[in-house]
C-alpha cells in the first residue's frame, strides 16, 4: 500500500462491490416491481395506489418530519397456526386417534362432529400443524389451517402481519423511519380509521391521548370567528381545555385534511404470499391454507 | 542525472512555515464556517431536546416543529461542521506529510464558499418544509447542487496537493484520506441522484439506498478521516511512529470491506438477503474497533497517561476512545437478538452521537486547536477556554450518550412488552432523554467557546496584518517625500 494507484484501486473495488450489492442489485430485484394479484384472498391488485389527497398528505408527512418519531415497519417474530376441524369424516374413532397421535389432545370420538368447524390445535408451529393435517386427512377428516402472525408489534395491534417490500412499491419518498418515539404507523389506517379522531389528535394530541408526548400541530388548523354559517368541518368534540374560546372555531386547513387522508391510507393488512395470514373473517370464508 | 535530482528536490523543499501559510486562506474559510454551523447545530439540537420536556414548546409555527428542527441540527452538524472541518484538517495533513504547498488555495476557498452557500439554502429549505424525507440526506436538490460543486473544487485540489507530495511512498494517514476523498463524491452523488432526480427510484429501494449512504458516511467516511487525523496527531504529539503499519492496513481494509455494507436493520421490510448481509458485515466491524484499540494502546503504551497532554492531545485521546466504544456499540447491536431490542430506540441515537460528536467532532477540535496557531502564527486569544471546551464537550457527550444508551435499552425491552402502552414506554424513555438536555447545553457552551476563540483570533489577525497596511496605504503623504 505504498503507492497512490494501489490505495485508489482498493477503495474503488471495495466501494464498487458495496454499490453493486446495496444499490444496483436491490434496484434490479425490486425496481421494476409492479402491482400484483399477490393478495391471497382478494383477486385485486395490491397495493392500490394512494388517492390524490393521500399523496398530498405524504408531502405534509415528509415536510413536517413525522418519520423521525414514527416508523412504518411492523416486525413479526413467527407465524402461529391454528388447526380447525371442518369435517369429522365417517370414522370419528380414527380421527380421535389421529388427534391423540399428533398430541393435539384427547377428544371423545362421538362428540367430534359437533360444532364444526372447531379448533383442535392452537398456536402451533407450521410443522406440527401440517403433521396433524395430514394425519387427519388419512383418517378421512378435513381440516383447515389458520395462520396468525405473532410478535410484540403485532400483539400491540400495530399490524396484522409484518410489512414487506410489496407494501411500498407505489410510493415515492418511502419513509420507513428509524426511531419509535410514538407508535408504528404502517397500519394506522386500519387501526384508527376515525377521521375526526385523527384531526383532533393532530390539533391537540393530549385531548384524545392522555400524557401523549407528541407535539401539537396547530399550524395545520385555522382558528376563526364562527360567523353566521359555522364551518361544517370545524373540530367538534374538543374537550374544554383544548377548545377555542366561545365564538371561535377550529377548522382544519387542506394540509391537515391531506395528512389525515394519508394516515388513513396507511394499511398493510392484506394477506400476501410472502406474509400470509388468515384474516378474521366469518368462519365460512375461504382460508389461505396451503394447497395440499 | 543524480545531480539534477538532488538539486531539484533541494529547490522544491518547502519550509513548514510556507506550507502552513499556503493553507491559511482555505482553512480560514472552512474552520470559521464550520464553527458557525457547529453553534447552529447545537442551538437547534437544544431546541429539539427541549421539546421532550414540553411537547407544546414552540409548536405554534411550522418551521420550529420537531420534525424540522431535528434534521436542521443533524445536517448542520454533519455537513456544516463534521465534513467541512474534516476537509480542512485533511488538507493540512496532506500538505504537511507531503511537504508541499496547497494547490490552488483560492479555488479551495471558493469551493468552501459554494459548500456553505448550498448548505445555507438547504437548511432554510428544510425549515421551509422542503426536506427530502431521507435521513442524513434531507437537504433539497437545490442545495445539493452547490454542496456537490463545492466539494468537487475542494476534493480535486486536495487530491492534486496529495499528488504533489515529495515522498512518493504513502503512510497510513494518507491511505485513509485518499480513500475518503474518493469515497464521498461517489456515495453523495449516487444517493442524491437516485433519490432526488427527476424520476427517482421507487419503493423500499429508496430506503435501502438511504441506509447504504448513512452507513458509508457515518462509518466509512468519518472512520477514514477521523482515524487518519488521530493517527497523524498521535505520531506527532507522542513523537513516535505508529506501533504497526500492518495493523493500520488491516484497519483500513476492514473499514472498506465491512463498514461499507453496514447499517440495514434486521427487521427492515426488504428482501431477507439484504439485512442478512448487512448484519454479517456490521458484526465484523468489531475487528476494526479492536484493531484500532490495540494499535493505539501499543503506540502510546503507558505514555498516554504520563505525558503532560496538551489540549489537542486530550481531544484526540477522547476521540479515539469514543471511536472504539461507538463502533463496538454499533457492531454488537447488529446481532439479531440485540437488534430486536435496540432497533428503533434511543440507543441508536446514542451510538450516532458518540460516533459523530464523541469521536469525529472531538478529533477535529483537537486538530483545529493544533493547526490554527501554526497556520496563522498566532496563539489562541484564550488558552483557558481551550481546556474548558474540552471538559464541556467531553462531559456533554457523556451526558448525552450514556443516558440515551441505557434509556434506549430499557425502552427496547419495554417495546417488547405489549402490556405497556406506547405512552408509558415513551414516558419512561423521556426521563433519560431529559438528562441528555444538560449534555446539549454543555456542548452548546463549549461550541460557543470554540467559535469565540476563532473569531477573537481572526480579529487579532486582521488587526496585525491588515490594519497597518491600510494605515500605510491611507496615510497622508509627507510633501517632502513627494517627488516632483
Whether residue A239 is found in the same domain as residue A96? no
pLDDT digits (tens, 9 = 90+) for A75-113: 999 999 998 888 888 888 888 888 888 877 777 777 777
Q: Are the beta carbons of B430 and B52 closer than 8 angstroms?
A: yes
Top residue of A65, A155, A208, A222 to mutate, by most chain B CBs within 10 Å, is A65
Higher pLDDT, B9 or A60: A60
Provide the CATH number for the domain around residue A244.
1.10.760.10
Among A8-22, A115-129, B274-288, B412-426, the range scoring the smallest mean pLDDT is A115-129
| Residue A55 shares a structural domain with residue A109 | no
Chain A contact set for B270 (CB, 8 A):
26, 30, 165
Closest CA to A90 of A149, A139, A21: A139
Domain contains A280? no
What CATH number should be reported for the domain holding residue A141? 3.30.1390.10
In a domain, A140, yes or no: yes
Do A175 and A214 sit in the same domain of this protein?
yes
Q: Do A246 and A207 share a structural domain?
A: yes
A78: number of Cβ within 10 Å:
12
Q: At what angle do helices B172-196 and B245-257 cross, to 10 degrees?
A: 10
Within 8 A by CB and 6+ apart from A245, the residues are: none
Q: Give me the residues of A, 21-40, that contact B with CB < 8 A.
A: 21-23, 26-27, 29-31, 33
- Give yes or no: residues A247 and A176 share one domain: yes
Q: Which of chain B's residues have a Cβ under 8 Å away from the Cβ of A173?
A: 132-134, 206
Which of B219, B412, B229, B188 minimizes the C-alpha distance to B320?
Answer: B229
**Owning domain of residue A59:** 36-74+163-264
Grid coordinates representing B242?
A: 505508529
Report yes or no on whether pTM surpasses 0.95. Answer: no
In a domain, residue A84? The reply is: yes
Residues of B in contact with A218 (CB under 8 A): 59-60
Q: Chain A residues with CB inside 8 Å of B200's CB? A: 172
| Closest approach of A64 to chain B, Cα-based (Å) | 5
| pLDDT for the residue B332 | 97
User: What's the gap in Å between the CA of B164 and the closest CA on chain A?
Assistant: 11
CA B261 to chain CA centroid, Å, is: 20
Question: Quick one: pLDDT at residue B223?
Answer: 98
Chain B closest-CA separation from residue A132 CA (Å): 30
Whether A29 is in a domain gets the answer no
Cross-chain Cβ contact A68/B66 below 8 Å: yes
Report the helix count and the strand count for chain A, using DSSP H and E: 10, 5
Give domain status of residue A259, yes or no: yes
> How many CB pairs (< 8 A) connect A and B?
215
Q: Same structural domain for residues A177 and A248?
A: yes
Nearest CA in chain B to A64: B67
Residue A287 included in any domain: no
Same domain? For A67 and A181 the reply is: yes
Inter-chain contact B253–A10, Cβ cutoff 8 Å? yes
Which residue from A1, A26, A181 is facing B426, i.e. has the nearest CB? A181
Query: B162 to chain A: which residues are within 8 Å by CB?
Result: 4
**Number of structural domains found in chain A:** 2
Same domain, yes or no, for A234 and A102?
no
The 3-state secondary structure of chain B, one letter per residue: CHHHHHHHHHHHCCCHHHHHHHHHHHHHHHHHHHHHHHHHHHHHHHHHHHCCCCCCCCCCCHHHCHHHHHHHHHHHHHHHHHHHHHHHHHHHHHHHHHCCCCCCHHHHHHHHHHHHHHHHHHHHHHHCCCCCCCCCCCCCHHHHHHHHHHHHHHHHHHHHHHHCCCCCCCCHHHHHHHHHHHHHHHHHHHHHHHHHCCCCCCCHHHHHHHHHHHHHHHHHHHHHHHHHHHHHHHHHHHCCCCCCHHHHHHHHHHHHHCHHHCCCCCCCCCCCHHHHHHHHHHHHCHHHHHHHHHHHHHHHCCHHHHCCCCHHHHHHHHHHHHHHHHHHHHHHCCCHHHHHHHCECHHHHHHHHHHHHHHHHHHHHHHHHHHHHHHHCCCCCCHHHHHHHHHHHHHHHHHHHHHHHHHHHHHHHHHCCCCCCHHHHHHHHHHHHHHHHHHHHHHHHHHHHHHHHHHHHHHHHHHHHCHHHHHHHHCCCCHHHCCC
Q: Compare CB distances from A179 to B61, B71, B344 and report the shortest one's residue.
A: B344
Q: Is residue A271 situated within a structural domain?
A: no
Distances in whole angstroms, Cα of residue B255 to Cα of each of B45, B135, B184: 29, 22, 14
Residues A219, B60: C-beta atoms closer than 8 Å? yes
pLDDT band at A7 (very low <50, low <70, confident <90, very high): very high
Of all residues in chain A, the one with the smallest CA distance to B67 is A65
For residue A25, being part of any structural domain is answered with no
The pLDDT of residue A120 = 86
Query: Which residue among A3, A21, A68 sits closest to B168, beta carbon to beta carbon?
Result: A3
Residues A54, A124, single domain; the answer is no
Residues A51 and A103 in one domain: no
**Domain-ending residue, one of A120, A150, A180:** A150
Contacts of A183 in chain B (CB under 8 A): 422
Q: What is the pLDDT along chain B (484 residues), one digit of tens a residue?
A: 344 343 344 445 789 999 999 999 999 999 999 999 999 999 999 999 999 998 889 988 999 999 999 999 999 999 999 999 999 999 999 999 999 999 999 999 999 999 999 999 999 999 999 999 999 999 999 999 999 999 999 999 999 999 999 988 999 999 999 999 999 999 999 999 999 987 788 899 999 999 999 999 999 999 999 999 999 999 998 888 899 999 999 999 999 999 999 989 998 999 999 999 999 999 999 999 999 999 999 988 756 554 556 789 999 999 999 999 999 999 999 999 999 999 999 999 999 999 999 999 999 999 999 999 999 999 999 999 999 999 999 999 999 999 999 999 999 999 999 999 999 999 898 889 989 999 999 999 999 999 999 999 999 999 998 888 888 888 887 777 766 6
Nearest to A68 among B70, B267, B417 (CB): B70
Let me know whether A254 and A231 are in one domain. Answer: yes
Confidence of residue A281 (pLDDT cuts 50, 70, 90): low
Q: A216 and A190 share a domain? A: yes
For residue B119, give the C-alpha cell.
448548505
pLDDT at A117: 81
Q: Average pLDDT over chain A, rounded to whole?
A: 88
Structural domains present in chain B: 16-464 (1.20.210.10)
Checking if the pLDDT of A114 tops 80, the result is no
The DSSP letter of residue A103 is T
Amino acid at each position: 500500500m505504498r503507492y497512490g494507484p494501489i490505495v485508489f484501486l482498493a477503495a474503488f473495488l471495495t466501494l464498487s462491490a458495496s454499490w453493486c450489492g446495496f444499490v444496483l442489485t436491490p434496484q434490479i430485484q425490486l425496481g421494476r416491481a409492479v402491482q400484483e394479484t399477490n393478495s391471497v384472498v382478494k383477486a385485486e391488485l395490491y397495493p392500490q395506489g394512494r388517492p390524490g389527497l393521500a399523496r398530498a398528505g405524504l408531502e405534509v408527512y415528509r415536510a413536517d418530519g413525522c418519520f423521525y418519531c414514527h416508523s412504518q415497519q411492523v416486525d413479526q417474530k413467527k407465524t402461529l397456526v391454528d388447526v380447525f376441524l371442518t369435517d369429522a369424516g365417517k370414522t370419528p374413532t380414527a380421527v380421535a386417534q389421529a388427534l391423540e397421535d399428533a398430541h393435539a389432545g384427547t377428544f371423545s370420538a362421538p362428540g367430534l362432529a359437533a360444532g364444526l368447524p372447531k379448533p383442535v390445535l392452537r398456536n402451533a408451529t407450521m410443522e406440527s400443524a401440517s403433521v396433524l393435517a395430514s394425519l387427519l386427512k388419512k383418517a378421512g377428516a378435513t381440516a383447515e389451517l389458520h395462520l396468525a402472525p405473532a410478535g410484540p408489534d403485532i400483539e400491540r395491534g400495530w399490524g396484522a402481519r409484518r410489512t414487506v417490500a410489496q407494501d411500498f412499491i407505489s410510493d415515492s419518498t418511502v419513509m420507513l423511519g428509524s426511531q419509535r418515539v410514538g407508535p408504528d404507523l404502517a397500519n394506522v389506517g386500519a387501526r384508527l380509521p376515525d377521521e375526526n379522531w385523527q384531526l383532533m389528535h393532530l390539533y391537540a394530541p393530549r385531548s384524545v391521548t392522555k400524557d401523549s408526548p407528541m407535539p401539537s400541530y396547530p399550524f395545520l388548523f385555522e382558528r376563526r370567528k364562527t360567523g353566521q354559517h359555522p364551518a361544517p368541518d370545524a373540530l367538534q368534540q374538543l374537550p374544554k381545555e383544548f377548545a377555542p374560546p366561545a365564538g371561535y372555531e377550529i377548522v382544519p386547513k387542506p394540509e391537515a385534511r391531506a395528512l389525515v387522508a394519508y394516515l388513513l391510507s396507511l394499511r398493510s393488512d392484506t394477506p400476501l404470499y410472502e406474509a400470509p395470514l388468515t384474516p378474521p373473517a366469518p368462519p365460512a370464508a375461504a382460508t389461505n391454507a396451503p394447497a395440499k | 542525472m543524480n545531480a539534477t535530482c538532488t538539486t531539484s528536490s533541494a529547490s522544491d523543499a518547502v519550509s513548514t512555515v510556507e506550507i502552513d501559510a499556503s493553507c491559511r486562506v482555505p482553512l480560514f474559510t472552512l474552520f470559521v464556517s464550520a464553527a458557525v454551523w457547529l453553534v447552529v447545530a447545537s442551538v437547534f439540537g437544544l431546541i429539539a431536546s427541549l421539546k421532550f420536556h414540553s411537547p407544546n414548546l414552540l409548536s405554534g409555527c411550522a418551521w420550529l416543529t420537531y420534525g424540522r428542527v431535528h434534521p436542521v441540527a443533524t445536517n448542520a452538524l454533519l455537513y456544516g461542521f463534521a465534513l467541512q472541518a474534516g476537509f480542512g484538517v485533511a488538507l493540512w495533513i496532506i500538505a504537511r506529510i507531503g511537504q508541499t504547498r496547497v494547490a490552488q488555495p483560492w479555488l479551495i476557498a471558493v469551493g468552501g464558499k459554494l459548500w456553505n452557500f448550498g448548505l445555507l439554502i438547504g437548511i432554510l429549505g428544510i425549515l421551509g418544509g422542503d426536506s427530502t424525507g431521507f435521513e442524513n440526506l434531507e437537504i433539497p436538490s437545490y442545495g445539493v447542487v452547490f454542496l456537490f460543486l463545492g466539494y468537487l473544487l475542494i476534493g480535486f485540489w486536495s487530491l492534486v496537493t496529495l499528488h504533489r507530495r515529495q515522498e512518493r511512498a504513502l503512510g497510513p494517514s494518507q491511505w485513509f484520506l485518499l480513500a475518503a476523498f474518493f469515497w464521498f463524491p461517489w456515495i453523495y452523488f449516487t444517493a442524491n441522484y437516485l433519490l432526488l432526480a427527476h424520476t427517482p427510484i421507487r419503493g423500499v429501494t429508496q430506503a435501502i439506498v438511504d441506509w447504504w449512504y448513512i452507513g458509508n458516511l457515518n462509518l466509512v467516511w468519518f472512520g477514514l478521516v477521523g482515524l487518519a487525523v488521530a493517527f497523524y496527531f498521535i505520531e506527532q504529539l507522542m513523537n513516535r511512529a505508529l506501533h504497526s503499519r500492518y495493523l493500520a492496513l488491516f484497519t483500513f481494509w476492514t473499514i472498506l470491506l465491512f463498514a461499507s455494507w453496514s447499517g440495514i436493520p434486521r427487521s427492515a421490510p426488504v428482501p431477507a438477503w439484504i439485512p442478512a448481509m448487512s448484519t454479517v458485515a456490521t458484526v465484523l466491524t468489531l475487528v476494526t474497533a479492536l484493531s484500532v484499540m490495540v494499535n493505539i494502546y501499543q503506540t502510546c503504551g503507558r505514555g498516554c497517561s504520563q505525558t503532560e497532554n496538551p489540549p489537542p492531545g486530550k481531544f484526540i485521546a477522547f476521540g479515539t476512545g469514543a471511536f472504539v466504544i461507538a463502533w463496538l456499540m454499533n457492531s454488537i447491536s447488529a446481532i439479531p437478538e440485540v437488534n430486536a431490542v435496540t432497533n428503533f430506540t434511543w440507543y441508536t441515537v446514542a451510538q450516532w452521537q458518540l460516533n459523530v460528536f464523541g469521536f469525529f467532532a472531538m478529533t477535529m477540535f483537537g486538530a483545529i486547536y493544533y493547526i490554527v496557531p501554526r497556520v496563522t502564527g498566532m496563539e489562541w486569544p484564550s488558552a483557558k477556554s481551550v481546556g474548558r471546551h474540552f471538559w464541556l464537550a467531553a462531559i456533554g457527550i457523556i451526558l448525552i450518550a450514556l443516558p440515551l444508551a441505557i434509556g434506549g435499552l430499557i425502552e427496547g425491552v419495554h417495546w417488547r412488552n405489549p402490556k405497556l402502552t406506547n405512552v408509558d414506554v415513551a414516558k419512561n424513555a423521556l426521563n433519560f432523554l431529559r438528562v441528555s438536555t444538560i449534555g446539549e447545553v454543555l456542548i452548546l457552551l463549549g461550541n460557543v467557546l470554540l467559535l469565540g476563540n476563532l473569531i477573537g483570533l481572526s480579529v487579532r489577525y486582521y488587526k496585525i496584518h491588515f490594519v497597518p497596511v491600510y494605515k500605510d496605504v491611507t496615510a497622508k503623504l509627507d510633501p517632502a517625500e513627494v517627488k516632483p
